[in-house]
Chain A
């Protein structure tokens, strides 16, 4: 199974990006092989609708789980429609979050913000 996590840098020892839609990269972690791949988020600089396009990228990567500190409603709609489960990440590294998820320490993210849509965040 693949897990997607928004990342600021292509380094599993760095922390999870605070933004889902505008994170520069996603870490795609394969739980079977243990392989880590970073994909570029081509939506990061989008003028609008970044969350939708970013969620599409994550869905297309084949991820079944996404870890994120927070998520906008539009991105959540795309992920949920695709059957991607969303868990709330903690402020530790990408690597630690994968371990915490595997250990069942992360909870489902069930509150989504309306999106910032050009108003910061």
Chain B
């Protein structure tokens, strides 16, 4: 079973929830798809981490073979190619590595080179297998790293898998949730939080995935616009995590709350059971 943890904004508690649930699961798999700022490894500290570089294919043209037909320029949906002064120019940062130009070229003028865009760091913490994607600074898209992480998930299809998603509702989030059997949406109790929840809710609905919400940073007796949003849209509330100094302290010291306190172990265990119950419905 694959459970994606996502939210419309950063700092809501995706990693808090994902690492604590993974720590409770036996032989769980944890995939950190937040490749722009992966931080799960700060909590689930992998032993003997192994690194694997991830590359994308970038077309290179042999201008001796190119006859200037421009079929590739017209084809490129990302406008990564230009033909000027009888030479083809490839804009590497714009290229999405679809390979279309290479297939299309009647002159077979293209070859491809590997361009590194980041790495996957893999290791284990107790019985949890951790794989984190790290995108190189300055790269435009982390999607190829996420694809690589998901392929690890597919190789371990039977494992209880937690996919720690990037914040927001952009391409990299869509990529991250595609294999998920269930989506856990984490939301803050503010108007801004409810707005971001609504965006990510729309996205998950588009993908037709079953989902539920975890309300984080809740204060008793205070209004919670995210909770209201769930009621209005009949979204299952999986649980609430209080706005708690002790939890904040544990988290800011990179501790796993369920390991440190029976109280939090109980709180996350209840959440874990609720998610399993909903996900297997």
Q: Tell which of B76, B83, B85, B94 touches A74, judged by Cβ atoms closer than 8 Å.
A: B94
Task: Mark each residue of chain A from 40 to 69: 1 if its CB lies under 8 Å from any CB of chain B, else 0.
Answer: 000100111110110110010000000000
Residues of the B chain whose Cβ atoms lie less than 8 Å from the Cβ of A37: none
A49 touches B85 (CB 8 A): no
CB of A82 within 8 Å of the partner chain:
yes
Residue in A closest to B81 when the chains form the complex, CB atoms: A52
In the complex, what distance in Å separates the CA atom of A50 from the CA atom of B81?
Answer: 11
Smallest CB gap from B87: residue in A: A81
Expressed in whole angstroms, the Cα–Cα distance for A53 and B84 within the complex equals 11
Known: A74-B91, A74-B94, A117-B140. A52 touches B82 (CB 8 A): yes
Q: Does B79 contact A48, Cβ atoms closer than 8 Å?
A: yes
Q: Are the CB atoms of B89 and A78 closer together than 8 Å? A: yes
Do A77 and B79 touch across chains, with their CB atoms under 8 A apart?
no
Chain B residues positioned under 8 Å from A56 (CB to CB): 73, 82-84
Contacts of B75 in A (CB 8 A): none
Indicate whether A49 sits within 8 Å of B91 (C-beta atoms), given known contacts A43-B79, A56-B83, A81-B85.
yes
Nearest opposing residue in chain A for B76, CB measure: A49
Q: Which residue of A lies closest to B170 (CB)?
A: A118
Please report the C-alpha to C-alpha distance between residue A5 and residue B192 in the assembled complex, in whole angstroms. Answer: 42
Using A49-B94, A117-B140 as known contacts, say yes or no to A83 and B79 having CB atoms under 8 A apart: no
Whether, in the assembled complex, B207 has its beta carbon less than 8 Å from a beta carbon of chain A, the answer is no
Evaluate contact between B80 and A52: CB separation under 8 angstroms: yes
Taking a contact as CB atoms closer than 8 A, the residue among A47, A53, A81, A83 that contacts B89 in the complex is A81
**Contact at A83–B85, with CB atoms within 8 Å?**
yes
Q: Which of B64-82 contact A (CB under 8 A)?
A: 73, 76-82
